[in-house]
A and B are shown apart, each in its own frame.
Chain A
């Protein structure tokens, strides 16, 4: 190995070690993946325009799923969102998650808004999907499967 290449590799190693993790998500059945935007969030879209997004946040202060799941739920309840049924726990590989559905008035329709949170030691993964009630229920199973496919690399 030439000295320059070795030096470049030496300088690159710390950067690689601290590089932001990347999301890997299977799109919900029937959804098309969109190109990642500037925020590196994962996005997919149904033919009817229903949105699905998965984002990453730093787990700061570092807290477990129970804490962040409750924090988000309490905040949305305080804002006036109405829960649709009970929340559900799910597993995405080795990462546990919790998902809630909210009923939200939008225009003249009732929308369902899915918020799912997964927590690793360093990251909080937040998935969202929203659509008119009847449309959302058609894709619910596919959304659940996609939530279970979320991985961090």
Chain B
């Protein structure tokens, strides 16, 4: 019986550890939908995204690109169904970032270590050596800044999903003529109808 509290504590610790586990998924959704008024739909999407803690990257009559907290992604489809008449395409995409995070973090760590070592060498170097070390330092600082920026972008991806919404149906034109065995059906064609007019 004495082991019971210990096991319970262990279980709680493990659960807490799992809960604190870092999200390493990059999520995104590509949507294509039909709306009667693209500008109005764009405004409604913007308001909703901001209410969920997200923000807009791009907004036009043709498309909306936004960042949405990953936690609110499950509500996206329901909201868009209310804004549009028809959702033509809703394609979620998930990508594991663990490898990229690991490579970026370890790259950053190693360059920072080299940077500190080179800084320590700077005091002992002569004029010629100082110039060489300075050049090396400049290059290292650039690399470190680049890796930090990459890490920030990845952190953003861990928190926010990228949502791209096309407000119209933009695909390549349809093939014009696939013959049917029934004569009258061959005469039913959107392009002929629109182009012939009256």
Contacts and interface: CB of A to CB of B under 8 A. Distances in A.
A152 interface: no
A71 interface: yes
Contacts of A128: 188, 193
B178 A75 contact: yes
A71 B180 contact: yes
Interface in A75-134: 75-76, 78-82, 84-85, 102-106, 108-111, 113, 115, 124, 126, 128, 130, 133-134
Nearest to A43: B198
A10 interface: no
Looking at chain A's contact residues, the main secondary structure is strand
A104 B174 contact: yes
B36 A51 contact: no
B153 interface: no
Interface in B149-198: 168-176, 178, 180, 182-185, 187-191, 193-194, 197-198
A126 B193 CA distance: 12
A37 interface: yes
A108 B168 CA distance: 9
Contacts, number: 87
Contacts of A108: 62, 170
A51 B197 contact: yes
Nearest to A101: B86
Contact of A81 (B168, B187, B190): B190
Contacts of B183: 57
Interface string B27-58: 00000001111000000000000000000000
A126 B182 contact: no
A53 interface: yes
Given A34-B198, A84-B86, A133-B36, A109 B180 contact: no
A137 interface: yes
B169 A79 contact: no
Interface string B83-105: 00110100000000000000000
A53 to B, nearest CB: 7
Contact of B194 (A51, A80, A102): A51
Given A81-B174, A103-B86, A71 B190 contact: no
A85 B86 contact: yes
A123 to B, nearest CB: 10
Interface string B113-143: 0000000000000000000000000000000
22 contacts: A37-B198, A45-B198, A51-B193, A53-B193, A57-B187, A71-B182, A79-B176, A79-B178, A80-B175, A81-B174, A81-B190, A82-B88, A84-B86, A103-B86, A104-B174, A104-B190, A105-B172, A106-B173, A108-B170, A115-B188, A133-B36, A137-B36
Given A78-B178, A81-B190, A110-B34, 10 more contacts: A55-B187, A72-B185, A79-B174, A84-B34, A103-B34, A103-B169, A105-B172, A105-B173, A128-B193, A137-B85
Interface of B: 34-37, 62, 85-86, 88, 168-176, 178, 180, 182-185, 187-191, 193-194, 197-198
Interface of A: 34, 37, 43, 45, 51, 53, 55, 57-58, 71-72, 75-76, 78-82, 84-85, 102-106, 108-111, 113, 115, 124, 126, 128, 130, 133-134, 137
